[in-house]
A = this chain, B = another copy of it.
Amino acid sequence: MQTIIQKYLANINWSITPEQLYEPIGYTLESGGKRIRPQLVLMGCALFDSDFKKALDAAIAVEIFHNFTLLHDDVMDHAEMRRNRPTVHTKWDENTAILSGDAMLIKAYRFLEKIEPEKLLKVLPIFSEMALQVCEGQQYDMNFENSEEIGEDEYFKMIRLKTAVLLAASLQIGAIIGNASTEDAHWLYEFGIAIGIAFQLRDDYLDVYGDPKIFGKKIGGDILCKKKSFLLVNALKTAKLWQKAELKEIINSDALPDDEKIAKVTAIYNTMEIPQLCEKFINNYMDKALTYLDKVNARFPKQPLIDLAIQLSGRKE
């Protein structure tokens, strides 16, 4: 499925005028990534319809939307690199990133338009509701930067909105295009939420415990930017008073060298058995996911979806 998506994406012509608007879009979309979300659209469809290629336009819409969020998030986070290449606002400038991002969001809707009318009317509100929720998730994530401490509930609310709803809606949209019943599409959505949360928990985990050669990002990045990850949220939550003070002091220290800071925080996480807690949560969400998937009356095998879920929740990269 990944090959079909890549091929379709590569065939979109972005060499149109004004090139200052469209070239950065082509650059963003050619830069790879695992194309998980469009795969989920196709897989959601393939459960109910052997001709899953009819969901390709929706799959591309979702991928363009996802890349739009990355583009604008990178501006807001002042991120200089993405997938080993300079981000759009670094390679061009901020105005380019804002305007090309806007155009991408509109382009996503242009691909949705191609869906068969009867299905489009069902897909459109799901897509827009999801898109708004992703904005809300990004807003909560930015709010967290100004909070000393956030609750576990708030953390889960944020990653649900920022990460999980897009995976869930991708599956649901694919299912609708495959002519699934409302109920089946609903359970697939819930399955998507659960694997989306497991996926984000694994992401938080790998940021500290990943193999730098495979993970692709610098290990400990979340610690250095004081990100309210699952690990930090739970460490602060379960820490004894003195541990909490120590942890906060290290996290907020300007004097400590990066490596030392990462090592010290990791040591505290280890003492508190935070990685084990994270694994436990991932397993729980995966169990939940499979229970939801069981409720789906699919016409075709669910195994590819289970494989992808396992890959997402346990991935090494």
Q: List residues of chain A with CB under 8 Å of any chain B CB.
A: 17-18, 20-21, 72, 75-76, 95, 98-99, 101-103, 105-107, 109-110, 113, 117, 120-121, 124-125, 128-129, 131-132, 135-136, 138-140, 142-143
A120 neighbours in B (Cβ, 8 Å):
121
The 4 closest A-B pairs by CB, nearest first: A21-B139, A76-B95, A103-B135, A18-B139
A99 to B138, CA, bound (A): 8
Asked if A132 contacts B105 (CB within 8 A), the reply is no
A132 neighbours in B (Cβ, 8 Å):
103, 106-107, 110
Chain B CB within 10 Å, residue with most, of A21, A113, A125: A21
A102 to B117, CA, bound (A): 26
A138 neighbours in B (Cβ, 8 Å):
99
A18 neighbours in B (Cβ, 8 Å):
136, 139-140, 143
- Minimum C-beta distance from A69 to chain B (A): 8
Also in contact, A139 and B72, with CB within 8 A (given A106-B131, A107-B132, A109-B109): no
Asked if A98 contacts B110 (CB within 8 A), the reply is no
Asked if A20 contacts B139 (CB within 8 A), the reply is yes
